[in-house]
C-alpha cells in the first residue's frame, strides 16, 4: 500500500513539474509565426499575411498561429481596429493549453539582434512545456543566407549605370549583430554592384553611405527598405517628406532620388528563405555544445 501511495505521489510530482505535458500530443504540431508587427494594413497583407499563407500551404500537417513582438503595435491595433494579436509568450502558452506537443517558432527578424535574442530567451523559458520546441533562424544567419538574400534583392532592380545606385536601409542596432549590414554590403561590393546598405539607427549610418555615394560619383539613388514590412520606418525615416528623412537629405545633397516602397516580405525569394529556415528547424537536430565539447575532451 505504501509503495502504491509513493508511486502515485511521484507521478503527481512529475505531472506538476513537467508543465502538465501528459496532456501534450507530440503529433499535434504548430508553427508559431512571429513578426515585429505593423499598423499599415496594406503592407501587412502583402508581407505578413502572404508569408503566413505560404507557410500554411507548405506545412499542411502543422497549424499556423501568429504573434507580434511589438507591444506598442499590439496595443494600437487593439485600440484602433479591435484586433488582439498575441505576444510570443501568450501564443506559446495557448499552444500548451491546447495540447500541442511539437512547436516550431519562426520569426521574420532580419538579423540576430536584440529582438531575436529576446525571442530566444522567451522560447527557452517555455521549453519544458512541450515535447519539441525549436526556433528558426533570422534571415541573415549562415553564409548561404547572405548569398540567397543578395540574389533575391537583385530581383528588385534593373541593371545599374555607373552613376546609379541602390541604397537599402535597415533598422540598425547597437547590438554586435549590426556587423550583418556591413557583411551583406560587402557581398555586393565583391560582386561589383552599385548597392549600398545603411541603417536608421546604427552602422552604416546615413553619413557613411553619403560619403561613399559622393566618392563613387553616384548621381541617381533608389532607396529601398531593408525591412520585412514597409511600415513606419519606410514611410517616414526613409521615404518621408520630413527634413531628416533619407529622401529629403539626399535631395538636398543634389541627388536624383527614387523610392521603392516595398518590404522584403513582398519578395518571393525572401519568403522562400524563411520557408527554408523553418524546414531546417524541423529536420535538423540542435547541437548540444556541452556534449560536443565533452566528446572532444575524450578524443572523439
Is 280 one of the catalytic residues? no
| Cell numbers for 177 | 549583430
pLDDT one digit per residue (tens) for the chain, 300 residues: 555 555 555 555 444 445 445 557 888 999 999 999 999 999 999 999 999 999 999 999 999 999 999 999 999 999 999 999 999 999 999 999 999 999 999 999 999 999 999 999 999 999 999 999 999 999 999 999 999 999 999 999 999 999 999 999 999 988 899 999 999 999 999 998 999 999 999 899 999 999 999 999 999 999 999 999 999 889 999 999 999 999 999 999 999 999 999 999 999 999 999 999 999 999 997 665 555 565 566 666
Query: Is 201 annotated among the ligand-binding residues?
Result: yes
- With vertex at residue 54, the alpha carbon angle to CA 42 and CA 136, rounded to the nearest 5 degrees, is 105
CA separation for the pair 83, 81 (Å, rounded)? 5
Q: What's the CA gap between 137 and 110, in Å, rounded?
A: 9
> Which grid coordinates are listed for 98?
491546447
Boundaries of every domain in the chain: 20-140+268-286, 143-263
Marked catalytic residue, from 109, 171, 262, 277: 171
Is 30:66 a contact under the CB 8 Å cutoff?
Answer: no
Q: Does domain 20-140+268-286 have CATH number 3.40.50.1400?
A: yes
CA distance 75 to 81: 10
Is 277 within any annotated ligand binding site? no
280 is an annotated ligand-binding site residue = no
Query: Cα separation of 113 and 119, whole Å?
Result: 10
pLDDT of amino acid 8: 53
Q: Which fold has domain 143-263?
A: Rossmann fold (3.40.50)
Residue 75 CB neighbours (<10 A): 12
Strand-pair partners of 133: 103
Please report which helix (H) or strand (E) contains residue 258, including its range: strand 256-259
Cis peptide leading into residue 204 (ω within 30°)? yes
Q: How far apart are CA 223 and CA 99, in angstroms?
A: 46
The residues, any chain, with a CB within 8 Å of residue 121's CB and separated by 6 or more, are none
The answer to whether the 20-140+268-286 and 143-263 domains have the same CATH topology is yes
Sign of the four-CA dihedral 98, 99, 104, 109: positive
What pLDDT is stored for residue 97 in this prediction?
A: 96
In this structure, are residues 169 and 223 in contact, taking their beta carbons and an 8 Å threshold? yes
Amino acid at each position: 500500500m505504501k509503495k502504491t501511495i509513493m508511486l502515485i505521489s511521484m507521478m503527481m510530482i512529475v505531472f506538476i513539474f513537467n508543465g502538465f505535458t501528459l496532456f501534450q500530443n507530440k503529433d499535434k504540431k504548430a508553427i508559431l509565426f512571429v513578426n515585429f508587427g505593423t499598423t499599415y494594413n496594406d503592407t501587412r497583407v502583402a508581407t505578413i499575411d502572404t508569408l503566413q499563407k505560404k507557410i500554411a500551404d507548405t506545412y499542411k500537417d502543422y497549424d499556423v498561429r501568429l504573434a507580434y513582438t511589438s507591444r506598442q503595435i499590439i496595443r494600437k491595433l487593439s485600440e484602433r481596429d479591435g484586433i488582439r494579436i498575441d505576444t510570443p509568450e501568450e501564443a506559446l502558452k495557448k499552444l500548451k493549453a491546447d495540447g500541442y506537443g511539437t512547436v516550431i517558432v519562426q520569426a521574420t527578424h532580419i538579423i540576430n539582434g536584440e529582438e531575436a535574442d529576446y525571442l530566444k530567451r522567451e522560447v527557452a523559458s517555455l521549453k519544458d512545456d512541450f515535447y519539441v520546441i525549436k526556433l528558426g533562424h533570422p534571415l541573415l544567419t549562415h553564409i548561404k543566407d547572405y548569398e540567397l538574400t543578395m540574389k533575391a534583392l537583385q530581383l528588385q532592380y534593373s541593371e545599374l549605370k555607373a552613376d546609379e545606385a541602390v541604397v537599402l536601409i535597415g533598422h540598425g542596432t547597437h547590438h554586435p549583430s549590426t556587423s550583418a549590414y556591413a557583411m551583406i554590403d560587402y557581398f555586393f561590393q565583391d560582386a561589383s554592384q552599385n548597392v549600398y546598405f545603411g541603417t536608421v539607427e546604427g552602422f552604416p549610418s546615413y553619413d557613411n553611405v553619403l560619403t561613399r555615394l559622393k566618392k563613387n560619383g553616384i548621381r541617381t539613388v533608389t532607396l529601398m527598405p531593408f525591412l520585412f514590412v514597409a511600415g513606419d520606418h519606410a514611410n517616414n525615416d526613409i521615404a518621408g517628406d520630413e527634413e531628416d528623412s533619407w529622401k529629403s537629405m539626399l535631395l538636398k545633397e543634389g541627388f536624383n532620388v527614387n523610392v521603392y516602397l516595398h518590404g522584403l516580405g513582398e519578395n518571393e525569394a525572401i519568403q522562400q528563405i524563411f520557408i527554408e529556415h523553418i524546414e531546417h528547424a524541423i529536420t535538423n537536430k540542435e547541437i548540444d555544445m556541452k556534449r560536443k565539447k565533452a566528446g572532444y575532451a575524450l578524443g572523439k
